[in-house]
Structure 1
Amino acid sequence: MSQPLPLTTLRGHHRTWQVLHAEGELAPLGRLKAGLPRPGVPRFDPRCFTHEEDILTELAALGVRRIAPVYRLGPDERRVHGFIEGEPLSAIRPPGAALAPGELAQLSGLFGRLARVSPAALARVHSCPAALRPRTSRDFMRGLVRFTRRRVFAVHRTALHGLFAALRVDPVVLSPTGPLARDAALLTDRPFCLLHGDLHRDNLIVAEADGMLWTIDWELALIGDPLYDVATHLHLMRYPPSQEHALLTQWARAVDERLPGAAAGLTRDLPRYLAYKRVQSVFTDVIRQAQRVAAAPPEQRDMALATAGEMVSTALRKAARTLGLGRVPSPRAVETVYAAFSAAPAPPSAKSAPAVPAATRRAGRGVAWRRGRSGTG
């Protein structure tokens, strides 16, 4: 059997992808993608499936359309993906741009198809221990907050405590008594289904053959509350406000038709999930930008610092209310914090970088929940 020949390499966050051109008897398969894990890449999101190929295979068997096919090649039956010929939606409609009505309809249809995929349908490949799986929407959100507390902040706390302190990001926001945990306790229960977990413009491919949207990158797929999936989608897509409302209306109709009760409590609970996503982004962006600044060669350090300033300042602004911040530090102020922190000797401490002014801390909601325990819990 002829083997695919290497063509090029793509770098994803979790895996490096080798794009292969199938030849000989495999030629009808077209281009293929073979993934290689990237060791040491930090995890910022929980997962329910060990291998993306497992879930793609199960979804294909369930009749879910416009996802990459999975093939087994060679004597070791290495699993590879079919390459979706086209370009990311982000190249055509960048963040902040409105989607065409037909694209919006396709997305609501995708959410509807996911709502039909029950936990039982994926039991064979669900990797989380049954005893630890959440049973209610309240437990599901508590689990998200706990993951960010234990597997994101706590893992990087020793190295980056000084950076978080300088930016006035208090980890008590993630505590079992913090505002996110209190929000979780108020959630309406909804039936669980399959969630993509990372549905944004770069993971939607506009097929060159017919202009239809294909969905890629299922590595963060979960079984859980369907409202979390659309909250993540809204957080990442950056729709214009009027189109955000249109998407939500179509989403509610699509999921409720296929999974009655899936859109229950939408108006009350969506802000609670969005608050979590914004806080999660702060912790994720602070850590990622610290790593990128540290890894930048000298000639690229100024650019890395400027990027860190823009991204972290934006994340802080969006999460300011939940974090209890008043005046959010400007990109330039954040850049200064990162420059000082990256120049400090290891191990860094709370004094490693100049803190943003104390006036940025707002009284009110923040004061009450800061009386709670600030450990990682």
Structure 2
Amino acid sequence: MSQPLSGHLLRGHHRDWQVLPAEGRDHISGRIKAGRSRPGVTRFDPRCFLDEEDVLIELALLGVERIAPVYRLGPDGTRVHGFIEGVPLSALRPPGSPLTGGELDQLTALFGELARIPPVAMALVHRCPVPGRPRTSRDFLRGLVAFTRRRVYARHGRPLAGLFQTLGVDPDVLSVTSPLTREAARMTNRPFCLLHGDLHRDNLIVAEQDGQLWTIDWELAMVGDPLYDLATHLHLMDYPERQQQAMTLRWAGAVEERLPGAAEGLPRDLPRYLAYKRVQSVFTDVIRQAVAVREAPAGQLAERLATAGTMVSRALHRAERPLGLGRVPSPGVVEGVYAAFSAGTPMPPAPPRAKPEPAKARRAAPAPPSAAAGRAAPAATRRAARATASPRERSGSG
């Protein structure tokens, strides 16, 4: 996600960007942007590639369209991106609003393009150690839960254990015996392909040049289960319910055409990935907002406390069921929790936890499709789409 700072500066989660004219460079048309890593930024998602530029170059070689070109400048070959002139889709279609049919068509085509890129096509730039790479969808989800447990909570959230406890969040939701992890063992295995990993309204640019959607911010791209890319997209896009259902059906048809088997088990497994994404967002937002509040200048503390209240309460609301919350604290209550955290005073008691669901209810799931969802089970796919509908909220993890 990129947010304007001032003038020709842009701030992303992981890098700051300077937008510059390409004067005197005949091989470049338009402006360019040069990135600089932001030191000390906490990463909440696994990464398969060291540099976004590596991904963009490979995509260009594979014929993927409407992505930023990469150029080398100067004697040291510094790599910069072509700047896509336009506005983020979020500026025209705010979260919760529907997209046009043409915009849905373009997103569907993008998912189809990604489905045709197998892991071997990215082998030269894939940096994850080969022995540790997941081979099945089951291992893929287990690995995601383990990453959030070890690399997010254990490294950055454990010092905030009191904050999580006060908000009613039990870190054991990420344990190896948790329902999230147990559900991973029930996943249908699907063939892997390239994933964008962070496809939301701020990472889609409506270009001035042609009015088409251009895709930016490939830093969280990875190789894995294509259904995870759909779950991440639905979680971040905040579609109206009917359009979420339509996008799920479109996705199933597009990926099955390019990668047979990619939509197998969709009705059962999409809710599993969405449960993980909602839990992951809680850990991400609790930690990010704690850092923002802790580092707030005195004049900005009230504003950051209000933001923390809104963001964390919404994330908790979306993850209410997988977290087993009995009552979700309101934005005002969460703001009070963060105010006490900031002041170092005792925090209010945690909300009550929900009673465990009966084992039979926990095992209940939509009936699996009789064949790949994209070609023979549209009714089952529609049931899955309805089951994944969620309250309006956009909580990023990238």
If the length of structure 2 is used for normalisation, what is the TM-score?
0.87
Q: Would the aligned equivalents of 1:322 and 1:366 in 2 still touch at CA under 8 Å? A: no
Tell me which residue corresponds to 1:361: 353
Structure 1 stretches of 4+ with a deviation exceeding 3 A read: 25-28, 365-368
Q: Which amino acid aligns with 2:349?
A: A
Give 1:25 shift: 3.4
Question: 1:66: Cα distance to partner?
Answer: 0.5
Secondary structure, aligned partner of 1:42: coil
Match of 1:337 in 2: 337
- Which one-letter code corresponds to 1:110 in the other structure? L
1:355 to partner: Cα distance = 2.3
SS of the counterpart of 2:75?
A: coil
1:298 to 2:290 alignment: no
The question of 1:171 aligning with 2:165 is answered no
In 2: Cα distance, 1:316 partner to 1:151 partner: 21
Task: Calculate percent identity across the aligned residue pairs.
Answer: 69
- Mapping of residues 26-175 of structure 1, within 5 Å: 26=26, 28-175=28-175
**One-letter amino acid of the structure 2 residue matched with residue 255 of structure 1:** V
Q: CA deviation at 1:366?
A: 9.8
Aligned mates of 1:211, 1:147 — CA distance in 2:
38
In 2, are the aligned partners of 1:337 and 1:355 still within 8 Å (CA)?
Answer: no
**Any idea what SS the aligned residue of 1:168 has?**
coil
Which whole-Å CA distance do the structure 1 matches of 2:312 and 2:150 have between them?
21
Letter in structure 2 aligned against 1:356: A
**Partners of 2:121 and 2:301 in 1: CA distance:** 48
Distance 1:310 1:179 in 2: 27
Write the distance in 2 (CA, Å) between the matches of 1:367 and 1:344. Answer: 40
Aligned partners of 1:241, 1:158: CA distance in 2, in Å? 36
> Given that residues 157 and 287 in structure 2 are in contact (C-alpha distance below 8 angstroms), is that contact kept between their aligned partners in structure 1?
no
Aligned residue identity for 2:110: L
C-alpha displacement at 1:29, in angstroms? 2.3
- 1:247 aligned residue: 247
Runs of 5+ in structure 1 lacking a partner?
1-6, 346-351, 369-377
Shift of 1:181: 0.3
Give the paired residue count: 355
- Partner SS for 1:68: coil
Q: Which runs of 5+ in 2 are unaligned?
A: 1-6, 361-398
Shift of 1:159: 2.2
Q: Cα distance 1:51–1:339, how it changes in 2: closer, same or farther (>3 A)? A: same
Provide the secondary structure at the position in 2 that maps to 1:25. Answer: coil
Paired residue for 2:226?
226
Q: What SS does structure 1 have at the residue aligned with 2:25? A: helix
CA contact under 8 A between 1:324 and 1:366: conserved in structure 2?
A: no
Q: CA deviation at 1:168?
A: 1.2
Preserved contact between residue 32 and residue 82 of structure 1 (Cα < 8 Å): yes
Aligned mates of 1:52, 1:329 — CA distance in 2: 38
- Quote the Cα distance in structure 1 between the aligned partners of 2:129 and 2:28: 40
Q: CA deviation at 1:50?
A: 0.4
Q: 1:282 to 1:173 in 2, by over 3 A?
A: same
Evaluate the alpha carbon distance shift between residue 27 and residue 71 of structure 1 in structure 2; reply closer, same or farther with a 3 A threshold.
Answer: closer
Q: Within 5 Å, which residues of 2 pair with 1:248-327?
A: 248-327=248-327
Structure-1 residue corresponding to 2:373: none
Residue 204 (structure 1) aligns with: 204
State the Cα distance separating 1:356 from its structure 2 match: 2.8
- What is the one-letter code of the residue matched to 1:363? K
SS of alignment partner, residue 198 of structure 1 = coil
> Cα distance 1:9–1:263, how it changes in 2: closer, same or farther (>3 A)?
same
Q: TM-score when scaled to structure 1?
A: 0.92
Deviation at 1:237, TM superposition (A): 0.2
Amino acid in structure 2 at the alignment position of 1:71 = Y
8 A Cα contact 2:49 2:125, kept in partner: yes
Aligned match of 1:180: 180
Question: C-alpha deviations, 1:69-103, integer Å up to 9, x for none?
Answer: 00000000000000001000000000000000000
1:60 partner amino acid: A
Question: Taking structure 1 as reference, are residues 134 and 20 closer, same or farther at Cα in structure 2, changes over 3 Å only?
Answer: same
Cα separation, 2, equivalents of 1:235 and 1:126: 26
Instruction: State the superposition RMSD in angstroms.
Output: 1.6
- Summarize the Cα distance change of 1:367–1:263 in structure 2 as closer, same or farther, 3 Å threshold: closer
Report the alpha carbon displacement of residue 353 of structure 1 after superposing the two structures with TM. Answer: 1.9
- Equivalent position amino acid for 1:354 in 2: P
C-alpha distance 65-285 of structure 1, shift in aligned 2 (>3 A): same
Aligned AA for 2:136? Answer: T
CA contact 2:67–2:214 (8 Å) conserved in 1 = yes
- Change in CA separation of 1:190 and 1:158 when aligned onto 2, cut-off 3 Å: closer
- State the distance in 1 between where 2:45 and 2:318 align: 19
1:361 Cα offset (Å): 0.8
> Is the partner of 1:96 in helix, strand or coil?
coil
Q: Shift of the alpha carbon at 1:365? A: 3.4
SS at match of 2:332: helix
